Every structure is written in C-alpha cells, then in structure tokens.
Chains A and B, each alone.
Chain A
Amino acid sequence: MIADVLVAVFLLATAATGTAVALTREPTRQALVLSAYGLVLGGLMVVLQAPDVALAQVAVGTAIVPLLVVLTVAKVNRELGDRDDGPEDGS
C-alpha cells in the first residue's frame, strides 16, 4: 500500500519535472531542471526496486549530462561573444 503511494508520488513527480524540462527554454536553466528531473527519476527507480539503475541514473543523469550541457553552453557563448567583440587589438 505504502509502496503503491510512493510509486504514484514519484510517477507524478517524474511527469511534473519532465514537463518542466520541456517547458524550460533557456539551455543553462534547462540543464539544471534536467538535473532535478534525473534525481526524481532515480528516486522512482529506487521505489520500483531497481537500485542498480538508480545509481547509474543519478551519476550520469543528474551530474555528468547537465555538466556537459553547461560546459557546451559556456563554450558557445564565449565563441559568439568573442566574435561580436571582434579583435581586441584593433585592425
């Protein structure tokens, strides 16, 4: 009974955070929301008695993937910023 409630709660939370990821448009923010979604998904896997998958999900889904997204955004922003400014030493 309690297990059913827990599964229902985590399913709803997964749906809510998943929707939040889709509705967040700004990539850096989306990476952070994705991280929260990954944590909730990991919780869902734990209450569904799949701790193996939950471990990998939490490590990869909440840490590595958002980090890669944030780093990529940082790189792209800097490249674009550099291009807009043009060469510093004038020419």
Chain B
Amino acid sequence: MSRRRASRLLGVCGVVGAGALLLLALGDLPRLGDVPHPYAARAVPAALSRNTANVISSVNFDLRAFDTVGEEFVLFSAAVAALLLMRRFHDEEGRDRELGYGPRDVWSAVNLVGFALLAPTVMVALYVIAHGAVSPGGGFQGGAVLATGLHLAYLAGDYVVLQRLRPVAVFDVVEAVGAAGFVLLGMSALFVGDPFLTNWLPTGTLGELASAGMVELFNVAVGMEVASALVLLVAKFLDQALVVGRDGGDG
C-alpha cells in the first residue's frame, strides 16, 4: 500500500516537475517566424544555390546528408531487429490458420472506401517521393504514406489482395537496395573526386522536377527503404496476428 502511494507520489512529482521545466523552456523559445535563426539564415541561401526549392530536403540530403545516413540505418537496424524477433519459431512452422474473415465480413462502405483510396494514396506517395526536392515531403514521408496506402487493402478486409500487392520477398530486396543505395550514391561522389555524399550532379532549374542534383536520388533511395521497412514490419505483425496459430488449422 505505502509502496504504491510512494510510487504515485513519485509519478506526480515527475509530471509536475517535467511540466514546470517545459513551461520555463517555453518562455525562451523564439516566436514562430520571428527571429531569423543563424542556421536558417545560412541554410536557405545554400539550398537555393543548389536549386533545391525544398530547403528541408536540402538540409537532410545535401547539407547534412551524413546525419541522414545515420538516421536511415537507425530505421534499417530497428526494422531488421523487429523482423528477427517476430520470425517464426520451429513450433510455429506449418501452423497456419485459415483466415477467419474476408471482404464479405467488412461493411461494404469500408470495403469501397478502402479500395477507392488505395490507388490515389499510392500515387500521392510516389508523387511525394518524386517531388522531395521541390515540395514538402520526400523519401521518409512518401515511404511512410506508401506503406500506409498499401494497407488500405487490409482495411478493406482483403488480406489476400494485400499479400499480392506486397510480395514480401520483393520488399525484402527493395529494403536492402534502398539502404545500400543511399550509401553507394553517396560514394559516387568519390569517383568524381569529391568527398562522400557531395551533391556533385548538375542541379538543373530551381523548382523543376529534375533539379537539386543528388537530393532527389537520395530521396528515392530513402523512400524505397522506409516503405519496405514499414511494409515488412506490418507484414510480420499481420502474419503473427492472423496466420500463426497455436493449434494448426483451427481457424
């Protein structure tokens, strides 16, 4: 009893303390769009000098591309570790349940909306990846939207269609290609005599699809990696939740 009260007291102290510190810190924040930040004052001209309309993409994939390599491999290793943890153990092999439901068990409105939104969402995702150097978004965002969009098939109740939409073996390869591709693209600079991750390609015209040089290629590599990592992760969860059963075949 007293131990429970003590832990509750500790929790309240933590919440109040953290809240007070956050409120204190809030007062010191610059107002939104008010004071030019020294980094922003330098990043924007640097991005424009390389014809990258989306300054955030320029920071992520050109000015600080090295940070993004690290970030990408954080995601890659996290996904690989999760996939490893959720692999099928010996006693789970050959214990596939029959799927307990199909499209007919879902409200037809949900079914309709799911399939109606699937193609547009995937298109938006590809657009966001392709225009990463030009408009808000890029490889990370587009990849996440792509993975989400594909799972609309599952929302519509059709796990079988989802399985055909995202062959796991293909996404396995795409994830590795995306992760390795980022580093190999970065190393391509070495062959023209520039440092690792230099934006050495011609940068084209500001605001056009083929602009910003390497930034767009990096975006595509990251898009492949992020989309595949999320698809594979959800695929493992779906496999464990829907297919693997304790007693084989008693769907």
Q: Residues on A close to B: CB < 8 A?
A: 3, 7, 48-49, 51-52, 55-56, 59-60, 63-64, 67-68, 71-72, 74-75, 78-79, 82-83, 87-88
Asked whether B241 lies within 8 Å of A72 as measured between CB atoms, the reply is yes
Name which residue of chain B comes closest to A22, CB basis.
B15
In the complex where A64-B144, A72-B241, A87-B247 touch, is A55 in contact with B137 (Cβ < 8 A)?
yes
Given contacts A48-B32, A72-B237, A88-B250, whether A60 and B138 have CB atoms under 8 Å apart is no
Most buried by A among B151, B230, B234, B241: B241
Known: A48-B32, A75-B241, A82-B246. A56 touches B147 (CB 8 A): no
Knowing A52-B141, A55-B128, A56-B140 are in contact, say whether A64-B32 is a contact too (CB < 8 A). no
| Complex: A67 Cα to B137 Cα, angstroms | 23
Query: Shortest beta-carbon distance, A83 to chain B, in Å?
Result: 8
Contact indicator A60/B144 (Cβ below 8 Å): yes
Instruction: Decide: A59 and B237 in contact? CB cutoff 8 A.
Output: no
B226 to chain A, nearest CB (A): 9
Cα–Cα distance between A48 and B246 once the two chains are bound (Å): 48
Query: Chain B's nearest CB lies how many Å from the CB of A24?
Result: 17
Nearest chain-A residue to B137 (Cβ)?
Answer: A55
Residue of B at shortest CB range from A79?
B246
A59 to B241, CA, bound (A): 21
When chains A and B are docked, how far (Å) is the Cα of A13 from the Cα of B97? 42
B224: min CB distance to chain A, Å: 16
Neighbour of A67 across the interface among B141, B142, B234, CB < 8 A? B234
Overall SS of chain B's interface:
helix
Other than A56-B141, A64-B147, give 11 A-B pairs with Cβ distance below 8 A. A7-B32, A49-B32, A52-B54, A55-B141, A55-B144, A59-B144, A60-B144, A60-B230, A64-B144, A68-B237, A71-B237
Asked if residues B240 and A75 are in contact (CB atoms below 8 Å), the reply is: yes
Q: Which 3 A-B pairs have the closest CB atoms?
A: A59-B144, A55-B141, A51-B136
Residues of B within 8 A of A52 (CB): 54, 56, 136-138, 141
CA A66 to CA B84, docked complex, whole Å: 21
Q: How far is the CA of A59 from the CA of B147 in the complex (A)?
A: 8
Given A55-B136, A75-B241, A79-B246, is A64 in contact with B141 using a C-beta cutoff of 8 Å? no
The residue on A at minimum CB distance from B146 is A59
CB pair B234–A68 under 8 Å, yes or no, is yes
Inside 8 A of A64's CB, which chain B residues have their CB?
Answer: 144, 147-148, 230, 233-234
Instruction: Give me 24 A-to-B residue pairs in the complex whose CB atoms sit less than 8 angstroms apart, sorted by A's number.
Output: A48-B32, A49-B33, A51-B136, A52-B56, A52-B137, A52-B138, A52-B141, A55-B145, A59-B144, A59-B147, A59-B148, A64-B147, A64-B233, A67-B151, A67-B234, A71-B237, A71-B238, A74-B241, A75-B241, A78-B245, A78-B246, A79-B246, A87-B247, A88-B250
Residues B115-154 near A (CB distance < 8 A) = 128, 136-138, 140-142, 144-145, 147-148, 151
Residues of A within 8 A of B233 (CB): 64, 68
Nearest chain A residue, comparing its CB with the CB of B121 = A59
Interface string of B26-45 (1 = CB under 8 A from A): 00000011000000000000
Q: How far is the CA of A81 from the CA of B234 in the complex (A)?
A: 23
* Cα A30 to Cα B146 with chains together (Å): 25
